[in-house]
């Protein structure tokens, strides 16, 4: 029998109650970031590469069920059992907006970045020296610059994430315009059940949602506000993720992980898991493996094409509620009932799926300097890690 690979995780402490949701930001000039939701009511922001704690968002009075970061990791959002969804400044930890609901909010999602303008230009030495050739990007909150060829580049001006989607026990999907936070939200046609997960698709033209009390994934047309397709499952879908390249929808329902065509909505693959799973995530770079976690406390990695188990990682002391791959696929994170987050380093990825490990455990990831991280920490309302006091979860 082949010996399966064993990964040693980075263990992130700090939450005093179960971790129920994880979200990675895209890669930014400061690296990438990981935000976690917990029943202790205080989302936490971490360096996505190292797991180092950056700060805690304080203000909710009940369990936080869902979290997300915008495209540039400048804003965070959270959905809570205290009947509210909040938008936070990810640099300072301040609450920017608090949207009140009539019942528990279980899910939230920022829209994709909106392209406001784009212009082509002739490459000059300064741009070439900074970017080099290839598909490199230079990004901040104002623009994106990509090299098209040896003599040409394109500048896309101002990326603006401006919509927040929420859903929960009210069975209503709401869309908030963050450019007009005082305006009433747009309400999409009533969901057939209590909303468990939400996400955007197709450049914010489609909404994906699942329900706590019934099976299936529903796809809503944003313009009409109507359900245009239902992806049928036997059990309630506890996790739904759109792949980074937009090709697949990954769902976890009961003891099954399914992959759906994100454009034609057909079922591509379906694999039975060794136990009931709560969450699954597809490797974003090559899409040749996926990770799943659930009630048996183990985090497993599977081959996407065959469904064969590649690795079984043990370490959590409670059921695994959420798993997510990092944006480059070099690691994946898991959150558990035991209150910890574990970041499992897979090593530099190759197209054939091999994962060479370095002796010291380091992998070829984006380098984040102390100065980069300090910019993220500066001004943040920091509470000492490990001393987060137990809070009432309110309605869980």
Give me the pLDDT at residue 99, please: 98
Backbone phi and psi for residue 393, each to the nearest 5 degrees, phi listed first: -85, -5
The answer on pLDDT for 377 being more than 50 is no
Residue 367 lies in a domain: no
Percent of the chain with pLDDT over 70: 73
The answer on pLDDT for 223 being more than 60 is yes
Q: What is the mean pLDDT of residues 377-393?
A: 41
Give me the pLDDT at residue 372, please: 45
Write the burial class of residue 25 (CB in 10 Å: 0-12 exposed, 13-18 middle, 19+ buried).
Answer: buried
More confident residue, 346 or 343: 343
**Could you tell me if 81 and 394 are in contact, meaning their C-beta atoms sit under 8 angstroms apart?**
yes
Provide the pLDDT confidence category of residue 222 given band limits of 50, 70 and 90. very high
Residue 105 lies in a domain: yes
Residue 362 lies in a domain: no
More confident residue, 90 or 383: 90
C-alpha count within 13 angstroms, C-beta hemisphere, residue 308: 7
More confident residue, 191 or 138: 191
The answer on pLDDT for 117 being more than 60 is no
173-177 and 186-188: which strand pairing? antiparallel
Percent of the chain with pLDDT over 90: 71
The answer on pLDDT for 233 being more than 90 is yes
Residue 273 lies in a domain: yes
Q: Which one of 44-58, 130-144, 350-364 scores highest in mean pLDDT?
A: 44-58
Residue 133 lies in a domain: no
More confident residue, 203 or 80: 80
Backbone phi and psi for residue 365, each to the nearest 5 degrees, phi listed first: -110, 175
Q: pLDDT (tens digit, 9 = 90+) per residue, 120-161?
A: 454 444 433 444 433 344 343 344 555 555 555 555 444 557
Q: pLDDT (tens digit, 9 = 90+) per residue, 60-76?
A: 999 999 999 999 999 99
Q: What is the mean pLDDT of residues 169-190?
A: 95
The answer on pLDDT for 361 being more than 90 is no
Give me the pLDDT at residue 148, please: 52
DSSP of 88-133, one letter per residue?
EETTT--EEEEEE-SS-EEEEEEPPPEEEEEEEEE--HHHHHHH-S
Q: Which residue has the tokens 């784009």?
A: 118
DSSP of 258-327, one letter per residue?
EEEETTT--EEEEEE-SS-EEEEEE-TTT--EEEEEETTS-EEEEETTT--EEEEE---SS-EEEEEE-T
Give me the pLDDT at residue 365, please: 34
Residue 124 lies in a domain: no
Least confident of 32-46, 90-104, 134-148, 328-342: 134-148
Give me the pLDDT at residue 378, please: 46
Task: Please give the Cα distance from 214 to 205 (Å, whole number).
Answer: 24
Give me the pLDDT at residue 112, please: 85
Provide the pLDDT confidence category of residue 6 given band limits of 50, 70 and 90. low
Task: Please give the Cα distance from 23 to 347 (Å, whole number).
Answer: 20
Determine the structural domain holding residue 298 and report its residue range.
Answer: 11-114+156-345
Task: Please give the Cα distance from 45 to 280 (Å, whole number).
Answer: 21
Provide the pLDDT confidence category of residue 313 given band limits of 50, 70 and 90. very high
Q: What mean pLDDT is reported for the chain? A: 82
Q: What is the mean pLDDT of residues 88-101?
A: 97
- What domain count does the chain have? 1
Secondary structure of residue 181 in the 3-state scheme: coil
Residue 195 lies in a domain: yes
Count of beta carbons in the 10 Å neighbourhood of residue 177: 15
Residue 360 lies in a domain: no
Provide the CATH number for the domain around residue 265. Answer: 2.130.10.10
Provide the pLDDT confidence category of residue 347 given band limits of 50, 70 and 90. low
Q: Which of 300, 303, 304, 302 is nearest to 320 (CA)?
A: 300
């Amino acid at each position: 029998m082949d010996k399966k690979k064993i990964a040693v995780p980075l263990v992130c402490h700090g939450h005093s109650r179960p971790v129920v949701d994880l979200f990675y930001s895209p890669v930014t000039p400061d690296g990438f970031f990981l935000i976690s939701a917990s029943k202790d009511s205080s989302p936490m922001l971490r360096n996505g590469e190292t797991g180092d704690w950056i700060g805690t968002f304080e203000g909710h009075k009940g369990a936080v069920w869902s979290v997300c970061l915008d495209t540039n990791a400048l804003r965070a959002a959270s959905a809570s059992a205290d009947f509210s969804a909040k938008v936070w400044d990810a640099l300072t930890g301040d609450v920017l907006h608090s949207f009140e609901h009539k019942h528990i909010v279980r899910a939230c999602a920022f829209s994709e970045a909106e392209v406001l303008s784009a212009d082509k230009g002739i490459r000059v030495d300064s741009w070439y020296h900074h970017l080099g050739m290839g598909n490199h990007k230079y990004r901040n909150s104002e623009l994106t610059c990509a090299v098209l060829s040896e003599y040409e580049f394109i500048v896309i001006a101002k990326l603006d994430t401006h919509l927040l989607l929420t859903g929960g026990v009210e069975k209503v999907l709401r869309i908030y315009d963050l450019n007009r936070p005082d305006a009433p939200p747009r309400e999409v046609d009533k969901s057939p059940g209590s909303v468990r997960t939400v996400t955007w698709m197709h450049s914010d033209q489609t909404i994906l949602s699942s329900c706590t009390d019934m099976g299936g994934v529903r796809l809503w047309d944003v313009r009409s506000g109507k359900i245009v397709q239902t992806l049928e499952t036997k059990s309630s879908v506890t996790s739904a993720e759109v792949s980074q390249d937009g090709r697949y929808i990954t769902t976890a329902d009961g003891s099954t992980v399914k992959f759906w065509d994100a454009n034609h909505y057909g079922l591509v693959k379906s694999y039975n898991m060794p136990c009931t799973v709560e969450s699954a995530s597809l490797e974003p770079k090559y899409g040749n493996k996926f990770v799943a976690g659930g009630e048996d406390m183990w985090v497993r990695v599977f081959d996407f094409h065959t469904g064969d188990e590649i690795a079984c990682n043990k370490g959590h002391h409670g059921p695994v509620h959420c798993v997510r791959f990092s944006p480059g696929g070099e690691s994946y994170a898991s959150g558990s009932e035991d209150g910890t987050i574990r970041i499992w380093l897979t090593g530099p990825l190759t197209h054939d799926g091999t994962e060479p490990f370095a002796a010291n455990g380091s992998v070829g990831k984006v380098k984040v300097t102390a100065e980069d991280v300090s910019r993220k920490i500066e001004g943040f309302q920091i509470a000492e890690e490990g001393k987060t006091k137990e809070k009432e979860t309110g309605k869980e």
